[in-house]
């Protein structure tokens, strides 16, 4: 049996559930359309810094934030379009703005669709008319995130999109990775290094991007949590980012369609024609060890 309920907490929270597998998803539309909790068989898979989440002045550290219309940051937070300079902060504005619930479904799964449309606030930093819709689908051990991007401008719309899942872990040395790449880009030093599916968790911070992927999925097994996670992604997703901070009980495995500064460099940037739309999806599946 599938159900959708709501709870009025600090923010109105939508609770999607699949009772057959004791799976549950919590979504907060007005706080950037963020997923704050994903449980499978009653086990929480996501990390959330509740103190930061409660402060609307701070970006959320946890859950699954949405990155749009850029992933990462721009030099001096600026880019140029048609001879004009615009300021756009790291990861864009989608994670900070309220989204609107447009559809709900509980027939064969629990599904919630949220939409974000351009407005005066977005046009001041990103001069394109758009509509973005995210549909979260919960069924069994799987979370699917379907996305539609519509360009309502009269010129091509450049953008990138990403998801920033924070997965909870109690011991990073118990993590085993299968990321389909042999090289990585250190996003701090900009050095390209070889990769053998291992990380040095004694480093204060790890922030790396895998840009040459040989398949459309990556996996992590966490023996400390007893869970095996598979991240799958459709085109135009082209990059997987891994990020973690020493002493924090999370790691992030993030699908991005383009890397940092793509709005300036054009590398892997999506250009959506006037009046066109683009559909894509990301899937997360949990299995227990």
> What is the per-residue pLDDT across 93-127, written as a single tens digit (0 to 9) for each?
999 999 999 999 999 999 999 999 999 999 999 99
- The pair phi, psi for residue 264, each rounded to 5°, is -95, -40
* Secondary structure (3-state) at 13: strand
pLDDT, residue 240, reads 98
Rounded alpha-carbon distances, angstroms, from residue 128 to 75, 80, 146, 152, 223: 21, 13, 22, 7, 45
Helix and strand element counts for the chain (H, E) = 3, 25
Residues 122, 128, 132, CA angle at the centre, nearest 5°? 75
Task: Please check whether residue 211 is in contact with residue 259, taking contact to mean a CB–CB distance below 8 angstroms.
Answer: yes
For residue 110, the enclosing domain spans 2-171+249-283
- 29, two tokens: 């539309």
In this predicted model, what pLDDT tens digit does every residue of 27-54 receive, in sequence order? Answer: 999 999 999 999 999 999 999 999 999 9
Flag whether 39 is in a domain.
yes
Task: Please check whether residue 139 is in contact with residue 285, taking contact to mean a CB–CB distance below 8 angstroms.
Answer: no
Flag whether 230 is in a domain.
no
Flag whether 262 is in a domain.
yes
- What is 61-83 written as a DSSP string? -BSB-EEBS-SS--GGGEEEETT
In this predicted model, what pLDDT tens digit does every residue of 72-83 receive, in sequence order? Answer: 999 999 999 999
Query: What's the distance, CA 92 to chain centroid?
Result: 12
Flag whether 238 is in a domain.
no
Identify the band that residue 188 occupies on the pLDDT scale cut at 50, 70 and 90: confident
Flag whether 182 is in a domain.
no
Q: Residue 121's domain is classified under what CATH number?
A: 2.70.98.10
Flag whether 253 is in a domain.
yes
Number of domains in the chain: 1
Flag whether 106 is in a domain.
yes
- Mean pLDDT score across all residues of the chain: 97
Please state the rounded mean pLDDT for residues 157-165.
98
Flag whether 229 is in a domain.
no
Please state the rounded mean pLDDT for residues 130-146.
98
Percentage of residues in the chain having pLDDT higher than 90: 98
């Amino acid at each position: 049996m599938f159900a959708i309920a709501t709870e009025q907490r600090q923010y109105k929270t939508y609770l999607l559930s699949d009772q057959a597998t004791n799976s549950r998803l919590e979504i907060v539309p007005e706080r950037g359309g963020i997923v704050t909790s994903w449980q499978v068989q009653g086990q929480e898979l996501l990390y959330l810094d509740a103190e930061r989440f409660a402060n609307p002045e701070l970006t959320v550290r946890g859950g699954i934030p949405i990155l749009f219309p850029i992933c990462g940051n721009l030099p001096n937070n600026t880019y140029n379009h048609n001879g004009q300079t615009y300021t756009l902060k790291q990861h864009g504005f989608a994670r900070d703005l309220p989204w609107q619930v447009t559809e709900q479904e509980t027939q064969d799964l629990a599904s919630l669709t949220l939409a974000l449309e351009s407005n005066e606030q977005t046009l001041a930093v990103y001069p394109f008319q758009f509509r973005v819709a995210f549909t979260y689908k919960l069924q069994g051990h799987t979370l699917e995130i379907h996305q539609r991007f519509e360009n309502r401008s009269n010129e091509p719309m450049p953008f990138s999109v990403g998801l920033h899942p924070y997965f909870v872990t109690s011991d990073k040395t118990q993590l085993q990775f299968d990321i389909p790449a042999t090289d990585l880009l250190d996003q701090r030093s900009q050095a390209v290094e070889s990769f053998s599916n291992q990380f040095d968790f004694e480093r204060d911070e790890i922030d790396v991007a895998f840009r040459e992927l040989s398949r459309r999925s990556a996996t992590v097994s966490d023996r400390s949590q007893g869970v095996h996670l598979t991240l799958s992604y459709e085109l135009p997703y082209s990059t997987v980012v891994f990020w973690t901070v020493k002493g924090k009980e999370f790691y992030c495995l993030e699908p991005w369609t383009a890397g940092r500064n793509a709005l300036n460099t054009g590398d892997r940037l999506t250009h959506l024609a006037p009046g066109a739309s683009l559909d894509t999806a990301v899937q997360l599946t949990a299995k227990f060890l």
